[in-house]
Amino acid sequence: MKRLFTVVLVVLLSLALIAGCGQQAPAPEGPKDEPITVGFVYIGPPGDGGWTYAHDQGRKYLEQQLGDKVKTIYKENVPEDQESEKVMRDMIDQGAKIIFATSFGYMDHVANVAKEFPDVAFMHCSGYLLGENYGNYFGRIEEPRYLSGIVAGMKTKTNKIGYVAAYDIPEVVRGINAFTLGVRSVNPDAVVEVRWTNTWYDPAKEKEAAIALLDAGADVIAQHQDTAGPQVAAEERGAFSVGYNSDMAAMAPKAYMTAPVWNWGPYYVKQVQAVMDGTWKPEAYWGGMKDGIVDLAPLTANAPEGSQAAVDEAKAKILSGELQVFAGPIKDQSGTVRVPEGSVLSDQEQLEMKWFVEGVIGKIGQ
């Protein structure tokens, strides 16, 4: 008993000492001319070389562009549960006026916290909820995915392409469909087989899924994951791969061909500027290639002959608006026409997409 008392006393004294020193330190909250604090909630570490890396590049771009006017804080590896609410509250406690929550699973939690703090602007990436002070933003990654599908479709010899996918949510389903449409635009016999991992960030598990697909006869691997695990699998097996989020050439120099990539920086600058100017309004932003938020990474030497020309041609059509990814006719897996000739899927329909196009092997909602 006595002994424990000593422990506690010693700890308390040390704390008091540190806290005492703390009196001289300036308080973190400052007057008006202080920079505006922007908080970023990350699902993975910025070093993942994928999704979070892309967002962190955007954060750095924001700091670079706005300089002294902005201060950014971030927290990595934030799980998509109650913990994310605590992280957001902590950031607000530390002075954040704008919060970018960069994973789908944060959606409900953003809404919860946003209601508690009406003065703070929240932007949630990849979701669909919209409220007084919270909006969502995303990019039409389907467009570069479609282009990457062209590359994959031209490359495959076995006519089977493996696709390592995170969760069967509309965002991922849409990507698979766009990719498959791209594949089949140049190679109508090819199929795309999907494996779900139920993780965003688990290098080992994602690599395993890719290996299973390669074992099943695929010779090109595409992915909707935040790590380069599937790329590494393709590299090791001498197959080819399409990355995601950012240029993954370094991880798989002999396999990697290209990747649909994000470029969040300009959007972040625009939003933060709007908040500072007092002109910000919550919106559901969904930019495409012509807005610069998404793009296809440069093709490497692994890409098949003639693919550069094919991609360039399709890309020009997308930029001009001549080509729309989800323009009919599109059949689903059962062969039923879901989008008739002459019509295009509306944004709402795309946001709620829960079916696969013809050519996809895989199930939703298993």
Residues that bind other proteins (CB under 8 A): 1-4, 6-11, 14-15, 18-19, 21-22, 25, 28, 39, 45, 73-77, 79-83, 86-87, 89-91, 93-94, 104-105, 108, 167-170, 173, 198, 352, 354, 364-365
Cβ of residue 52: shortest distance to other proteins, in angstroms?
A: 12
Q: Nearer Cβ to other proteins, position 89 or 331?
A: 89
Q: Nearer Cβ to other proteins, position 198 or 343?
A: 198
Please, are residues 74 and 110 in contact by the beta-carbon 8 Å criterion? no
Cβ of residue 183: shortest distance to other proteins, in angstroms?
A: 23
Q: How is residue 239 written in tokens?
A: 């197959």
DSSP-derived secondary structure letter, 166: S
| C-alpha–C-alpha distance, residues 220 and 231, integer Å | 10
Q: How is residue 161 written in tokens?
A: 């392409």
Please, are residues 185 and 150 in contact by the beta-carbon 8 Å criterion? yes
Cβ of residue 102: shortest distance to other proteins, in angstroms?
A: 14
Q: Nearer Cβ to other proteins, position 38 or 314?
A: 38
Q: Nearer Cβ to other proteins, position 86 or 254?
A: 86
Q: Nearer Cβ to other proteins, position 42 or 240?
A: 42
| C-alpha–C-alpha distance, residues 149 and 155, integer Å | 10
Cβ of residue 28: shortest distance to other proteins, in angstroms?
A: 7
Q: DSSP of 230-279, one letter per residue?
A: HHHHHHHHT-EEE--BS--TTT-TTTEEE-EEE--HHHHHHHHHHHHHT-
Cβ of residue 10: shortest distance to other proteins, in angstroms?
A: 5
Please, are residues 164 and 209 in contact by the beta-carbon 8 Å criterion? yes
180, amino acid identity? T
